[in-house]
Structure 1
Amino acid sequence: MGQVLRTPDARFENLPDYPFAPNYVDIVDEGLGTLRQHYVDEGPKDGEVVLLMHGEPSWSYLYRHMIPPLAEAGFRVVAPDLIGFGRSDKPSDKSVYSYRRNVQWMLSFLTAMDLRGVTLFCQDWGGLIGLRLVAEQPERFARVVVSNSGLPRGEGMSDAFMRWQRIAKWSPIMPIGRVLQRASTRTLSDEEVAAYEAPFPKGSYKAAARIFPSLVPVKANDPGAADNRAAWTTLSRFGGPVLTLFGDSDPVTAGWDKQLQNNMPGAAGQAHRTIEGGHHFIQEDAPEELVRGIVDFIHANPLPGRLKAVS
């Protein structure tokens, strides 16, 4: 099964706009033993939880401009790094990673953290995994916000995604920072590009980044497709409010917002938005608009027993 790698702490020193103290939780995997998973935990510990889930090949650095304003708004902001990314442990064998195993790792994280009353914000693989979490443990989730993501059922993917799948598999370098730049409208600084590369000092650390695109269920019989179809059955009954905040310039997930709006009852009547100039990594392009959308959504849909916020 290869090694379980851990990126040296020195790689994460002095990253621009990322001053957050690291936190860790141990995840027990039957085959690999104990894995250390990193997460950011900012804001009041008794605040409502906003869970920010990143995708591929990014890490919690993607949320550096969203974490402080959400914490200042009174929320406990939890931003984990998926196993294989960021400051979390990284199995070096690509065969270790499966869609189901990634979901299980995050279910273990939720259980270890005992997060409840959660507002999920998810993008890219953060949604592919996060929506499965909602289907598995809906009682933990109060609200769901989806941005440039969804839950594919094996019904095909866009040409843009299929190109990305080939690049991730066959590119001799897999330049993580440049991938983030190409899928963002805003021009990232050299320091920001380097920060996205920080978790991956060598190619052996990039196993997850390499394999994740191949784990997306493109065909009906792909691993994960049946699980996702079953999850949609549960999501179609999920009673919490659901919001979509999609970019208008993402070629990968165009139209997925309508699938969510049409298939999750809690999406009815919500203030869904299409954000102008938002590319795939919309957190780089429109963090202020995303924060405003999340905060307004929470205030418009208070937890039972809490008064609706007065603006």
Structure 2
Amino acid sequence: MKVLRTPDSCFEGLPDFDYAPHYTTIHADDGTPLRIHHIDEGPADAEPILLMHGNPTWSYLYRHMIPGLLKTGRRVIALDLVGCGRSDKPAQKKDYTLARHCVWLTQWLLANDLKNITLFCQDWGGIIGLHLVAHHPERFDRIIAANTGLPIGKGANQFLRVWPAVMRYAPSFPWRLAFRKVLQRQLTVKEFAAFERAPFPARKYQAGIKKFPALLTVFPDHPEVEINRETWARLKSFDKPFLTLYGDRDPVSKGYEKIIQRYVPGAQGQAHKIIEGGGHFIQEDKAAELVAEITRFLAAKENKAGC
């Protein structure tokens, strides 16, 4: 497997993102080493909040949430999926499968030996992150899902029907089209460049983000749909606190929060919220409100435990 690595110089001087990089090396199924990047802030011995992003973003998406989450006294970790951000990027689209993403992140989780995790996951961070939860529930204390889903071949909404078709033959990722459809907040020129140009200084680095849409298991004949079906089967017995925070302007996963609330035992009785003005990349649109809701969720769990 040929692997590309974005030069460190590409990430210099990004606005509001002065965090030291941390790396974990795992191995692909053919033995190829892959370096996965994460941010690691706060007390090393504190319970971690793990932030997982989706496509085509990276941990930069959490820059406005990290300071507020650090005020909770917890360790805050934001990783980059393989093919994104500062993580290594296998060079061919065929290198990326849902199964491999799940294995890669499982290796990362076990290598870092994280426990008592509060997971905040959005988009693909939810699909892959919930796989981690389902297979290693003992490592997670609570979950917050935002604008994500876990499709099991039961069809797709209009956005998820069109998006894979658009991306199937796209020579490069259509950044402005994608962000215009799912982002409510207007990015500055430098912020947009931090998403588009910093991780992907040339088209050759984009194989992973171009492949993600084809990995959506929205139709029953998808070759990897059983992975998500198994994850769902396990989540139906997950009884630890599970909160949903979805944006009312998200065209991608709208309505999926109701499925989680219905079928995941830990979601029963939680203070779920639909956040007004939140688009798909809700971390950009409503960072302060998300931090406030997460802080309340953490406090509610602690108060209950104290009683």
TM-score normalised to structure 2 length? 0.96
Match of 1:270 in 2: 270
Instruction: For residue 79 of structure 1, report the CA deviation from its aligned partner.
Output: 0.6
Structure 1 residues 151 and 96: CA distance shift in structure 2, 3 A: same
- The residue identity in structure 2 corresponding to 1:27 is I
Query: How many residues in Structure 1 have an aligned counterpart in Structure 2?
Result: 306
Written as runs of structure 1 = structure 2, the 5 A alignment for 1:1-311 is: 1=1, 3-176=2-175, 179-197=178-196, 198-302=198-302, 307=306
Task: Check whether the contact 2:172–2:206 (CA below 8 A) recurs between aligned residues.
Answer: no
Distance 1:173 1:221 in 2: 27
The 8 Å contact of residues 91 and 205 in structure 2, kept in 1 or not, is answered as yes
SS at match of 2:86: coil
Measured on the aligned residues, the alpha-carbon RMSD in Å equals: 1.5
Q: C-alpha distance in 2, partners of 1:177/1:121?
A: 26
Structure 1: segments with no counterpart, 5+ residues: none
Deviation at residue 207 of structure 1 after TM alignment:
0.3
> Secondary structure of 2:302's match?
coil
- Does the CA-based 8 Å contact 1:4-1:91 persist in structure 2? yes
What are the ranges of 5 or more consecutive residues in structure 2 without an aligned counterpart? none
Q: Aligned AA for 1:219?
A: F
Q: Contact 1:83 / 1:89 at 8 angstroms: preserved in 2?
A: yes
Query: Match of 2:270, as an amino acid?
Result: Q
CA spacing shift, 1:134–1:270, aligned 2, 3 Å: same
SS in 2 for 1:301: helix
Looking at structure 2, the residues matched to 276 and 233 of structure 1 have their Cα atoms a distance apart, in angstroms, of: 31
Distance 1:224 1:135 in 2: 17
CA distance in 2, matches of 1:94, 1:151: 22
Amino acid at match of 1:231: T
CA distance in 1, matches of 2:12, 2:176: 17
Q: Which amino acid is the alignment partner of residue 85 of structure 1?
A: C
Inter-partner Cα distance in structure 2 for 1:62 and 1:39: 13
Measured at CA, do residues 177 and 81 of structure 1 come closer, stay the same or move farther in structure 2, by a change above 3 Å? farther
TM-score (norm 1): 0.95
Residues 44 and 75 of structure 1 are in contact (CA less than 8 Å); yes or no, is this contact kept in structure 2?
yes
1:87 to 1:181, Cα distance in 2 relative to 1, 3 A: farther
Residues 184 and 279, structure 1, Cα contact 8 Å, conserved in 2: yes
Deviation at 1:96, TM superposition (A): 0.8
CA displacement at 1:307 relative to structure 2 = 2.9
Deviates more, 1:183-192 or 1:162-171: 162-171
The 2-side partners of 1:265 and 1:83 are apart by: 31
Asked if the contact 1:99/1:223 (under 8 Å) is kept, the reply is no
Answer yes or no: is the 8 Å Cα contact 1:177–1:195 preserved in 2. Answer: no
> What amino acid does structure 2 have at the position aligned with 1:138?
P
Deviations 1:27-53 (A, max 9, x none): 112215111110000111122111000
Contact 1:131–1:150 (8 Å) recurs in 2: no
CA distance in structure 2 between the partners assigned to 1:15 and 1:167 by the alignment:
30
Partners of 2:172 and 2:210 within 8 A in 1: no
1-structure distance, mates of 2:230, 2:266? 18
Matched-pair contact (CA < 8 Å) for 1:177–1:194: no
1:241 and 1:266 in contact (8 A); partners too? yes
Q: Does the Cα contact within 8 Å between 1:54 and 1:126 map onto a contact in 2?
A: yes
The amino acid of 1:130's aligned partner reads G
* Structure 1 segments of 4+ aligned residues over 4 angstroms from their partners: none
Contact 1:244–1:257 (CA<8 Å) still a contact in 2? yes
Q: Is the 1:180–1:193 contact (alpha carbons within 8 Å) kept by the matching residues of 2? A: no
